[in-house]
Amino acid sequence: MTERFNVAILGTGLFGAALAYHLARDRSQRVVALDAPPNPDRPNATATSAGILSVQGWDPWDLAIVRESAREYRDLVESEGAALLRRDGGLRVARTEEGARWLERVRRVLARAGSEARWVGPGEVRELLPFADLGDAISALFTPDDATISPPETQAAYLRAAARSGAVVSPLPGPARILPSNEGGWSIETPRSVTARTLVIASGAWSKAVLGSLGHALPLAPFRAQALQLRPRPLLAPFPTLHDLDLSLYVRSGPFGRLVAGDGNSTREQDPFDWNPSADPVFVDATVDALSGVFRELGSIRVESARAGLCVASPDRFPLVGRVPGTADLVIACGFNGLGTMRAAGLARRLADALRTGDWAPLGPADPARFSLPAPPFDPRPEFPLEATGSETEAIDEPRPGQDRPASSFERSWDDLGLRVLSGPDDVDRLRWTSLSDWFDPFLPLFARDALRTGGSVEVAEEEGAVRGLRLFGSSEGVGSGFTRERRIAERFLERMDEVGLYLEEPWRPGGQPIEVFAADLRDWAARERLRNPVRLGQREDLGGIRLLMRAELGPGVDPWLATLPRPEETAFLCEIDGRIVGVSWLSRVGPFARGHSFVVHPRFRGLGIGTDLLTARMLWLERTGARWVVSEIYDGNAASRKAAERAGMARVGEMFHFRPPSGGRGAATSGPPRTAGTSSGSSR
């Protein structure tokens, strides 16, 4: 049986996924998106993208595309629950007069387009990148709108939204044969037969070969781009993406305190059926050497992955998005020159509009017909950076700051969700979890069980049987906790919070009080100080003394949680002087992941280094028992806890937020193992 569609998209990378979504929103259009199953040995460009969204000073038209993409990604990930867009800014630095002149040209283009770009001096450079040595830079340009995303998660979010709007998203079950259809349009023959009035080729590095098989040639050249993921010591909090002109290098924040760095763009065309997906050893060594020279204050930089992906170049470095010359029903979307993530969303939206309306003008500079055919061969020119080479005339066709913007097409109703209150710990085991948190995903089932064990409650927001939001209430602490990646859920949690407020991991609205998150990777950790006080592991018979200390400092709210102990996932580290427990630090362990909490030192024994010793001892224990990383939260700007964590080898890696309503609410909301925010105990969670 032949399935008939209006549009068939060959390729479901980030661009193809975005196009499928925008076309499927028009319910009169039947859309199918087809792709080969993922091949881990030959990952596509989406899987290997660095995910940088850098406002471009290359050309006003291209800058508008990038800004459209960034705005759309933000709305998409907040609606679909993908890893959120991080707007940490970007820093371009130059050490030569030529580089400084180039940066001034970029600044002028961005200023004329209404994008903020400002010079920063050595002091502010140091504040933006405190771990970097950029003292020899003579010029530095900061662009606060630069951001980062996770391209694979964003692609998956687009595909979910496309399928919900009616698109058919399907892997190709085998080699596909593409032929002109006798009825007009195109026929795609696999074990299933598909016909479509319009065929869009968005197959990345394979697009040139697919076009060639259909008798069409366009000037496209696949090339390799290389990148590293590195684990620094200490782990790093999010920082502005660094573009170093002289080193021809970019460095951005990676997941879990990592770095992502690259430049390795080859200038030779690659065969997409025979290429090396591993980074070249020369590139790896050169990049690590360069980073070690710039990031002198880091203890170490270890390579965790070294990969290559295929991008596609065009002769003029503008993409090719539009009708293939000489055809009315064959469309190409390719040639992003390594900037596919920056351009995909904006160009996909414009292409969808063109396919619906026949107005191709907004894609003008990307028109494939701009080339005379047959085009001569060319070498890729992925010079870094790709900017400031075009016209400086103002031609931005998107809303300026302060103008009204169209409502997001990704807004979703709370009514699509089911809110369920769990009846007991056994319910937690039956949940189908999705990722709800950057740092605390491994602990969420444990948090839920703790809340239920201590007489509290757990609410889950579910969609199609999967958990999209978690809200915890327990009797051990004075504030509730919420975990979600979706704005609609976070807003509902905030609407229903108590007068004492709610902890959330993202700044979903203004006014949240920051809470520092500290972490360390145990594979790189080394003790900085010798223990000055005796520390040992707690035993069952110590619970009475622990209760006396914690109750005196934190109040009787700790009793319900302590009553659930001992349990194998909870370990106490104790300092005992003259037979009396004067310090305790707790550790929750889930496989290789650990979370420190409930750190208390008796007031009479502070200033003796007991806090640092407790935290150092638990790090030693974790290292020797094969843990991978440990995370802790420090509340209310607690200087003593912060200092102890840093001395024990942990580093600030991010923030959470405590939200309070403007006026009262209903009863106390609480959750999880005891927190110590607001006490005078010098403690952290």
Question: Which band of pLDDT confidence, cut at 50, 70 and 90, is reported for residue 685?
Answer: very low
How does pLDDT run across 603-624, given as a tens digit for each residue? Answer: 999 999 999 999 999 999 999 9
Quick one: angle between helices 151-164 and 60-80, nearest 10?
70
**Neighbour count for residue 501 (Cβ, 10 Å):** 20
pLDDT tier, 473 (very low <50, low <70, confident <90, very high otherwise):
confident
Asked if 288 and 330 count as a contact pair (C-beta separation under 8 A), the reply is: no
For residues 400 and 88, the model is more confident at 88
Over 80: is that where the pLDDT of 397 sits? no
What DSSP assignment string belongs to 195-215? EEEEEEE--GGGHHHHHHHTT
Contact 251, 242 (CB under 8 A): yes
Average pLDDT over residues 488-517: 91
- pLDDT of res. 476: 57
pTM, 2 dp:
0.91
Confidence of residue 400 (pLDDT cuts 50, 70, 90): very low
Please say if the pLDDT value at position 239 is more than 80: yes
The whole-number pLDDT of residue 29 equals: 87
What distance in Å separates the CA atoms of residue 220 and residue 222, rounded to the nearest whole number?
Answer: 7
Fold of the 1-86+146-220+314-375 domain? FAD/NAD(P)-binding domain (3.50.50)
The two structure tokens encoding residue 559: 């009793």
User: Quick one: average pLDDT of 61-72?
Assistant: 92
> Which residue carries 């964003």 as its tokens?
154
pLDDT in tens, 411-439: 888 888 999 999 999 999 999 999 999 99
Among 674, 560, 559, 520, smallest CA distance to 685 is for: 674
Domain boundaries, the chain: 1-86+146-220+314-375, 90-144+224-309, 415-512, 519-659
Looking at 376-473, list the stretches that DSSP marks H as alpha helix, in order from N- to C-terminal side.
425-429, 444-453
**Whether the Cβ atoms of residue 684 and residue 635 lie closer than 8 Å to each other:** yes
Would you say 55 and 90 are in contact if contact means Cβ atoms under 8 Å apart? Answer: yes
**Which residues have a Cβ under 8 Å from the Cβ of 657 and sit 6 or more positions away?**
503, 504, 505, 506, 507, 508, 512, 513, 514, 515
The CA–CA distances, whole Å, from 350 to 54, 70, 200, 474, 643 equal 20, 14, 14, 49, 52
Q: What ranges in 328-460 are assigned the alpha helix state H? A: 340-357, 425-429, 444-453
pLDDT band at 478 (very low <50, low <70, confident <90, very high): low
DSSP 483: E
Q: How many CB atoms lie within 10 A of CB 520?
A: 28
Domains 90-144+224-309 and 519-659 share a fold: no
588-591, long-range: CB < 8 A, 24+ apart: 588/443, 588/446, 588/673, 589/622, 589/627, 590/442, 590/443, 590/446, 591/442
pLDDT of residue 442: 97
Looking at residue 684, its pLDDT comes to 40
CB 677 within 8 A of CB 685: yes
Question: Residues 556-567: what's their mean pLDDT?
Answer: 92
pLDDT at 668: 32
The pLDDT assigned to 58 comes to: 74
- Please list the residues that pair with 187 across neighbouring strands: 179, 195
Yes or no: say if 61 and 362 are a contact pair by the CB < 8 Å rule: no
Q: Is the pLDDT of residue 380 over 60?
A: yes
Nearest to 218 by CA among 310, 311, 314: 314
**Domain 90-144+224-309, architecture per CATH:** 2-Layer Sandwich (3.30)
114 — pLDDT class (breaks 50, 70, 90):
confident
Whether 403 has a pLDDT exceeding 80, the answer reads no
Radius of gyration, alpha carbons of the chain: 27
What Å distances lie between residue 323 and 201, 214, 333, CA to CA? 10, 14, 9
**Lowest-confidence region among 10-19, 246-255, 393-402, 481-490:** 393-402
Instruction: Please report the pLDDT score of residue 383 as a whole number.
Output: 62
Structure tokens at 393: 């005339």
**Contact between 371 and 219 (Cβ < 8 Å):** yes
Q: Determine the pLDDT at residue 673.
A: 56
Spatial neighbors of 269 by CB under 8 A, at least 6 apart, are 221, 222, 223, 379, 380
Three-state SS at 158? helix
Tally of CA atoms within 13 A in the half-sphere of 464 that contains its CB: 4
Residue 128 CB-half CA count within 13 A? 23
Instruction: Check pLDDT > 60 for residue 402.
Output: no
What H or E segment, with its residue span, contains residue 521? strand 513-521
What value does the mean pLDDT of the chain take? 89
Burial of 565 (0-12, 13-18, 19+ CB in 10 A): middle
Ramachandran angles phi, psi of 575, nearest 5°:
-110, 125
Give me the pLDDT at residue 498, please: 79
**pLDDT confidence tier of residue 674, bands split at 50, 70 and 90:** low
Distance CA 240, CA 148 (A): 9
Q: Which residue has the tokens 């998106």?
A: 33
Which pLDDT band holds residue 399 (cuts at 50, 70, 90)? very low
- With b meaning 16 or more CB within 10 Å and e meaning fewer, what string describes 189-206? ebebebbbbbbbbbbbbb
Q: Average pLDDT of 26-35?
A: 90
Confidence class of residue 680 from pLDDT cuts 50, 70 and 90? Answer: very low
Q: Residue 181's pLDDT band (boundaries 50, 70, 90)?
A: confident
Three-state SS letters, 304-343: EEEEEEEEEECCCCCCEEEECCCCCCEEEEECCCCCHHHH
The answer, yes or no, to whether residue 681 has pLDDT greater than 80, is no
CB 151 within 8 A of CB 311: no
Residue 663 — pLDDT band, cuts 50, 70, 90? Answer: low
- Which range is least confidently modeled, 295-309, 468-482, 523-537, 554-568? 468-482
% of the chain surpassing 70 pLDDT: 92
Share of the chain above pLDDT 90, in %: 72
pLDDT tens track for 570-585:
999 999 999 999 999 9
Rounded distance, CA 89 to CA 562, Å? 44
* Topology of domain 519-659, CATH: Aminopeptidase (3.40.630)
Min mean pLDDT across 3-17, 224-238, 388-402 is at: 388-402
Instruction: Say if CB 46 and CB 12 are below 8 A apart.
Output: no
Cis check: omega of the bond before 566, within 30 degrees of 0: yes
pLDDT of residue 97: 93
In eight-state DSSP terms, residue 636 is T
**Which has more confidence, 677 or 546?**
546
- The contacts of residue 273 (CB under 8 Å, 6+ apart) are 209
636 pLDDT more than 80: no
- Per residue in 312-346, pLDDT (tens digit) is 999 988 999 999 999 999 999 999 998 999 999 99
